[in-house]
Amino acid sequence: MLILQVWLEASESPIGFLVKGDDADLSFTYDPHWLVAANGHLLSLSLPLREEPFGDVPVRAWFGNLLHENNQLEATMARHGLERSDIAGLLEHLGGDCAGAVSVLALDRPPVKRPGTLAEDYDPLDDKSFAEIVERLASGKPLPEEVRDPSPVAGVRRKISLAALPDGRFALPRQGTGAPTTHILKLPDRNYLHEARDEAFLTELAAKCGLSVGTCVADEIAGHEIILIGRFDRTVEDGKVYRSHVEDFAQACELPAELKYERRGEPGRRFDAANIGRVLEAIDQPALARGTFLRMTLFNLLLGNNDNHAKNNGLFHRPGGSVQLAPFYDLTPVQTTGKYTDELAFNIGTANRFDAITADDLLAFCIAIGIPQTSAPALLKSAAGALIDSVEDLSAHFPKAIFALDRLFGQTAGHLNDVLGLGKVLRERDAHVTGGGGWALS
């Protein structure tokens, strides 16, 4: 048997215990003191506050999503002879580096995550050190011995977490402080080197359309394109950095990371509109959340982001039991690259590809996520029409490098315009750039 403590940054003692039994099944039990002191602050929608332990299926799904698919995981598996399925065994070694406010620790380990003081708990990086980190990430070389990723995050892209200081420099948390980072430095796919530029562009475009998104800036360092992403699960107040507790939709839906796309699951156990609807119903203002999620879904459809899977959607859990949608993140127009599947991350009605979507599919999706049938047609037309108008106006000034996205939008907007009968007049597009300047990437 293996027993591990589960902590949140804000907790003064473990909030509960992850147990691997002699039969290798997992369970999780909230600590009785946390049930009294939590003030409604739960770990997950799939693990609500209660005295009884949770069994293997929801626990394996939730804690398995804490593991990062990266070299650190592979090295730990090799070093300790562990299988990928041994979630508790891996978290015994890696649980101090879980993304977000959660940490999973052996019983004899003290808490490792605490708020950070910017003036005291960080070692600044000079330009040479910063450039060396970028160069090593770009080439696949190990980071310098004195540099260790202080806050690994999930995903397959090469990245490291850093902290932004008030003077504009970036820094690493000092060893032993448990201080949070504030940004993610990410390099694009080697086969798609403009991914950083496109993600920053699409994120800015979403913000211009009034959507709640994270912040990111594309740049070039040491000859390599990079993207700096502001962590939405961090709060900086009075010179201190705090972690917020976030879970992704896979965790909230009791799904392992392998089922983050609807096509990989089975009815009743997949990331589909029905499951999305159940998550949105649990949010503080469910009607508002449904409208927000619909608008973001339409934006992704219009701009070719088919990769908005379960792990690219998140929730904040706050003291008092508050549950809120996190800003949207990982926005990339994957359909302009030619190397991703054209299948949608989750179906719209019965359609699993954009060009198969009908008005009935869009209405069925609205109803499945909880929008009342009586108001769904008007809300759908209003949301789609407003987004098409916004992007159409902005796209006339897209920079030359983004002409493929403009062409794609012309096709997708035309399709939604037709199937919904919106009557929008879209400008003509061809293989050449129709816009010029007037757009500044932040």
Q: Are residues 272 and 359 in the same domain?
A: yes
Strands (DSSP E) along 21-133, which ranges? 26-30, 102-106, 116-117, 122-124
Compute the distance between CA of residue 267 and CA of residue 430 in angstroms, rounded to an integer.
Answer: 41
Q: Are residues 18 and 41 in the same domain?
A: yes
Q: Are residues 288 and 268 in the same domain?
A: yes
Domain finish residue from 84, 106, 128: 106
* Mean pLDDT lowest among 144-148, 190-194, 252-256, 403-407: 144-148
pLDDT tens digit sequence for 29-61: 999 999 998 888 999 999 999 999 999 999 999
On whether residue 59 sits in a domain, the answer given is yes
Cα 343 to Cα 21, 265, 304: the distances in Å are: 39, 14, 11
pTM for this one?
0.91
Report pLDDT for 140.
80
The pLDDT of residue 432 is above 50: no
Q: Are residues 222 and 256 in the same domain?
A: no
DSSP 85: T
> Confidence band (pLDDT; 50, 70, 90) for 148?
low
For residue 161, which of 297, 90, 70, 281 has the smallest C-alpha distance? 70
On whether residue 237 sits in a domain, the answer given is no
pLDDT tens digit sequence for 74-98: 888 888 888 888 999 999 999 998 8
Percent over 90 (pLDDT), the chain: 71
> Confidence band (pLDDT; 50, 70, 90) for 152?
low
Instruction: Return mean pLDDT, the chain.
Output: 90
> Confidence band (pLDDT; 50, 70, 90) for 440?
very low
pLDDT tens digit sequence for 323-358: 999 999 999 998 887 667 889 999 999 999 999 999
Q: Are residues 155 and 218 in the same domain?
A: yes
On whether residue 430 sits in a domain, the answer given is no
Q: Are residues 52 and 161 in the same domain?
A: no
- Are the CB atoms for 123 and 174 separated by under 8 Å? yes
Residue 389 belongs to domain with CATH number? 1.10.1070
The residue segments making up the domain with residue 11 are: 2-106
Domain finish residue from 178, 208, 230: 230
Q: What is the mean pLDDT of residues 135-159?
A: 69
Q: Are residues 221 and 267 in the same domain?
A: no
Q: Are residues 211 and 264 in the same domain?
A: no
Q: Are residues 268 and 403 in the same domain?
A: yes
Q: Are residues 171 and 144 in the same domain?
A: yes
Domain finish residue from 106, 130, 161: 106
- How many domains is the chain built from? 3
Q: Are residues 346 and 374 in the same domain?
A: yes
Q: Are residues 261 and 387 in the same domain?
A: yes
Report pLDDT for 439.
43
On whether residue 157 sits in a domain, the answer given is yes
